[in-house]
């Protein structure tokens, strides 16, 4: 019982000392010095992984085709103007891609100026999010 009281007292003393040290060092900080800011997010160093999971077209400027040249006919169309058959055409391409090619296909579609139909876009985002989740 005495040992646990001694350990508890030591923890309280150390906690109080750290608290007062922190308050003292913050008060002594020069006024002209900017407050601490988080460093900007840098690349993790795993460029292939980061780029593979990214849907941003700015990551890679090269257009890559995934046996989907027929989708170029939809360039410039709005996402809400597709018929059910056209939506199925996009879905068929999406569902036949290899898992590692899905994010690249999304970037390729963006670079080619094609707006995905809303249901297919949601499926694409869900698949990429699940792939990211499974890698972490």
Q: Give tens-digit pLDDT for 63-113.
A: 888 888 999 999 989 999 999 999 999 999 999 998 888 888 888 898 999
Q: What angle do CA 84, 55, 74 make, to 5 degrees?
A: 35
Q: Say if residue 39's pLDDT is above 90.
A: no
Amino acid 22: pLDDT: 79
Amino acid 34: pLDDT: 56
What is the C-alpha separation between 101 and 119, in angstroms, rounded? 19
Q: Say if residue 4's pLDDT is above 70.
A: yes
What are the start-end ranges of the H helices in 2-117?
A: 2-28, 47-53, 84-96, 102-111
Amino acid 122: pLDDT: 92
CA dihedral 53, 54, 60, 63 (to 10 degrees): 80
pLDDT band (50, 70, 90) for residue 30 = low
Residues near 20 by Cβ (< 8 Å), separated by ≥ 6?
none
Amino acid 54: pLDDT: 57
């Amino acid at each position: 019982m005495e040992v646990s009281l001694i350990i508890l007292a030591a923890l309280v003393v150390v906690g109080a000392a750290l608290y007062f040290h922190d308050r003292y060092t913050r008060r002594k900080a020069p006024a002209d010095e900017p407050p601490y800011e988080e460093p900007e997010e840098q690349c993790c160093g795993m460029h292939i992984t980061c780029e593979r999971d990214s849907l941003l077209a700015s990551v890679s400027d090269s257009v890559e085709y995934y046996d989907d040249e027929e989708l170029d006919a939809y360039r410039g169309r709005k996402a809400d103007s597709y018929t059910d058959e056209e939506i199925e055409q996009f879905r068929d391409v999406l569902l036949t891609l290899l898992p590692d090619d899905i994010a690249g296909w999304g970037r390729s579609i963006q670079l080619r100026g094609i707006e995905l139909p809303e249901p297919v876009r949601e499926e694409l985002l869900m698949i990429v999010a699940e792939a990211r989740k499974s890698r972490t």
